[in-house]
Structure 1
Amino acid sequence: MLKKRAKSDSINLLQAFEVLQSEGFDFEEALKPVPHPHTITLDQALEFAKCEKCQITGVDFVDVDFCNDIEWLKGLRNKIEHYQFRLPPKEVRLCIGRLVRGVAEFVDIFSLFDLEKEVGKDSYHVFEVLADEYAHLLKEAERDVAEKEEEAYRGVRHKHYVFIDWNVYQCPECSNNTMIPSEDSSTGYKCTFCSNEESDEIEVACDCCGAMESAEEMATWQMDDGTIENRCYFCSGQYQADKDD
């Protein structure tokens, strides 16, 4: 109901909710668990929360960093569910620190409860230390990105920036915008926070024409000698196929 109204009126979900409420729509009746309870996904809840703004400052309650934390948390959950994870002590500390930092900000923004009272003063102090460790290491990683970027463009005239092959990607492992070019990486990129080197967003060259596209957009071809070649949209024949359709 909300999504349909938001789409038809070209407004966000929160505005659609307020419009329906002003029109007397009975949400309590619509949410009665008959025959099954109504639930929403995490992404849907996040989409709704993104609409919330401070009535005084107009600032979004949910920012980019929080959304990145959610994406990272979903990835961690999926790895745990499929038993595809290993966490040494340091990473455990950073995970807990990131979780606590996000939870503390969220419950404070929406005035849900007092986290210190809920967990106790001693436990809260431990959580603060872990959150501070995560925040410190993230700030260091972001500083590395800024320094490397400054180094890459130093001495280059602004109008020639387009010729510099230097990108920053969001790391799929930690969901931070800290994946930058690295000569020490087998893929050419490395995350300054978690040292991950893999991402489908990294641009690779087409083995036929040399055009650069992200790895996820490249078609891969198995060659007779067992090697793999990357083919861009045009060289793979997909352009001609789409054109014929």
Structure 2
Amino acid sequence: MNNAHSIILEAKGLSKRFGGLIAVDEVSIAVQKLGVTSIIGPNGAGKSTLFNLLSGTFLPDNGAVHIDGVDVTRLSPEGRLFSGMARSFQITNLFFDLTVMDNLRIASQVLEPRSHLYLPLEKSEIALKRANELLEEFGLEDSRGQLAGALSHGQQRRLEIAVTLATRPKLLLLDEPTQGMSQVDTHETADLIKRVGLNTTVLLIEHDVDLVMDLSKTVFVMAQGRKLAEGAPGEVRKNPLVQAAYFGEELA
């Protein structure tokens, strides 16, 4: 049984309807602190809608979302940022015409006191320090002066994860971070996510089931808008309902 103090994100009875389509139907999940938790499911299962409900991009028709026991159901994504949640998107969300360093420094600006709001970026010492920390942590020192738009796809995704961590969130939502990556970039990103999970709770949507099974301590499986199963990767892999949801293909 989960201890309430070990839960960082809890959703209770979330539902979302688009016209006659019930995209998410009474879904409840509880995400434990630290490590990687993943949401998987076949196309159309409701994963992305659930993710958008958890992040505040969509408001639910029914149900509630709590972060560390605090109700954030009606908060915007920006409001949830100040509650300790940050997220990435399927499509890279960077300032392509700015350098790697400037992307990180702008993202870190929220750490500055409000009195520094209108100071030039080069005067923002806290943001500058955090940006330099992220350059080192994510192996981007050699790219600090490059335009974000000139980076490889793998480097852009790495930078985007760094940007989402600029505010030191306690909960990071990653939406298909390895989409479109080469095998080498995928492995490097997986290692990076593992390291991030040592100090930050990571909730992941990912199409690469093998990657999910390797990274995660807990896996939630969605199908037809409902939670089909949850548990440790080994349990989920053997679940006959999960096998059926993936059209009879073994999650091996």
TM class, shorter-length: under 0.3
Relative to its length, the structure with more strand (as a share) is 2
Q: When the two structures are superposed, what TM-score results if normalisation uses the length of structure 2?
A: 0.26
TM-score normalised by structure 1 residue count: 0.27
Structure whose alpha-carbon radius of gyration is higher: 1
